[in-house]
Structure 1
Amino acid sequence: MTAIGFLYPGHSAEDDYPRIEMMLAAPDVRLPLVHTDIGTDAHRVDALLEMGSADRLAAGVEELRLAGAEAVVWACTSASFVFGHDGAQEQIRELARTAGLPASSTSFAFAHAVRELGVSRVAVAATYPVDVADLFHDFLKSAGTEVASTRGSGIITAAEVGTWGRAEVLALARAGDHPDAQAVLLPDTALHTAEHLVELERELGKPVLTANQVTVWEGLRLAQRTVRAPRLGALFGG
């Protein structure tokens, strides 16, 4: 049995995780999830720095250990890349020390997933305000990924993002695509995307990486598990 633990901020699109667990169709893989206290629900730099603080992440670690987690992933993009590349690296080092387990975050999951796909140039289609989306652009560049374009949507709260459905997700991806991009990234774990990955890739004609998708993939990578799941897009062998 392989159990990957996730620390998820608040309540928005956490139901993507049991959905992805079913889509993996691997009976020996479990994806236990613990909610963290987000404080202020805002895609604003000061709020995101507090959301991703070591104390808030540490509070959920023991529950994941008791659930048998072999690795833990901070299932949040914005409250990791907002610290910058070095700060986000220190965030997961501290999480690993606290948990006594391999650890990562959604921001690094995107960087690793881009390399796994063998692409070098991406487009970012973000729900965030432009200033926050630009910080993700900077993080990706620091991780060695060329960013052809970055689009922010100006959404302040995760709660609002969590209400978006298929039509909004497809529109976001279309609007954020760029002809020079080899893949499109949708970086918000508050966005429901698991059910739409095949359609997104068919619509854009290229790989699409979404936050909850890459977060699960990253956890499996940390646990040295490879699972082929075509319904989860090119990253999972689709």
Structure 2
Amino acid sequence: MATVGILYPGHSAEDDFAVLESHAHPTLRLPVAITTVGEDAHRVDALLDLGRTERLTDGVARLGPTRPDSMMWACTSGSFVFGRDGARRQADDVAAAAGVPASSTSIAFVDALQYLGIRRVAVAASYPEEVAAHFVAFLSGDGVDVVSAGSHGIVTAAEVGRLEPGTVTAMVRAADHPEADAVLVPDTAMHTLGFIDELESAIGKPVLTANQVTVWKGLALIGSVPPIPGLGRLFGAAR
């Protein structure tokens, strides 16, 4: 049994993980602890507050009884706004509090791209342009070439959580670029785990979503990642 503890800010798409747990690999557990949110806003100052160590370590304590093998801070914007070094310190703080390996969604995106051997990407961001620019900078700092970035100006996670699959698919199609080898969808507030194969079929290339790479990285911290049908090329790319 592999148990990946999920630290999730507020309420928007946390049920994505429960749905995946119910039909995925029979030995996968994804317990979720909801971390506190000061203001639900895709704005840099609010996101820096969202990712404070105190908020995360409180969630770590509540996940303790589930005995996780690894732990993930399942928030892209609440990690990349701290920059590369800050995001790694954030993950180290969670690992120290939890006593198990830990990472975050932002770091998971970079590691998943490296695993797949992909360097040129397009970004389909739900965030306002200012916040999306921080994600692009985070990726670029690790050598990822962002050839196109779309921004949809959605301010709250609650609104993102209500997006329908057809809307998400349209966002991915609109963001795709001929020179991109994959499209990234960076918001954990967005439901995606139920239709990643459909997203990839829509554009004919890998699509990496926030909740998908969060689960993948949590499993990678433990050991080998099992193939899970329906989760795209990332979960079928055995090495």
Structure 1, unmatched stretches of 5+, are none
* Fraction of identical pairs, as percent: 54
- What pairs up with 1:135-214 in 2 under 5 angstroms? 135-214=134-213
Mapped to 1, the partners of 2:102 and 2:138 lie a distance apart of 18
Mapped to 2, the partners of 1:200 and 1:101 lie a distance apart of 33
Mapped to 1, the partners of 2:159 and 2:189 lie a distance apart of 9
* CA RMSD between the two structures: 1.0
Match of 1:8 in 2: 8
- What pairs up with 1:97-116 in 2 under 5 angstroms? 97-116=96-115
The alpha-carbon deviation at position 93 of structure 1 amounts to: 1.0
1:23–1:232 contact (8 Å) kept in structure 2: no
Mapped to 1, the partners of 2:225 and 2:102 lie a distance apart of 17
Task: Give me the TM-score of the superposition, normalised by structure 1.
Answer: 0.97
Match of 1:17 in 2: 17
1:122–1:184 contact (8 Å) kept in structure 2: yes
Mapped to 1, the partners of 2:228 and 2:26 lie a distance apart of 13
1:189–1:212 contact (8 Å) kept in structure 2: yes
Structure 2, unmatched stretches of 5+, are none
1:150–1:176 contact (8 Å) kept in structure 2: yes
Give CA deviations for 1:163-221 in whole Å, capped at 9, x if unaligned.
00111101110111111000000000000111121111001000000000100001000
Amino acid at match of 1:232: L
Amino acid at match of 2:4: I
**CA shift in 2, pair 1:62/1:225, >3 Å:** farther
Task: Give me the TM-score of the superposition, normalised by structure 2.
Answer: 0.97
After TM superposition, what 4+ stretches of structure 1 lie above 6 angstroms from structure 2? none
Amino acid at match of 1:3: T
The alpha-carbon deviation at position 36 of structure 1 amounts to: 0.3
- What pairs up with 1:17-166 in 2 under 5 angstroms? 17-24=17-24, 26-166=25-165
Amino acid at match of 1:28: T
Mapped to 2, the partners of 1:96 and 1:84 lie a distance apart of 18
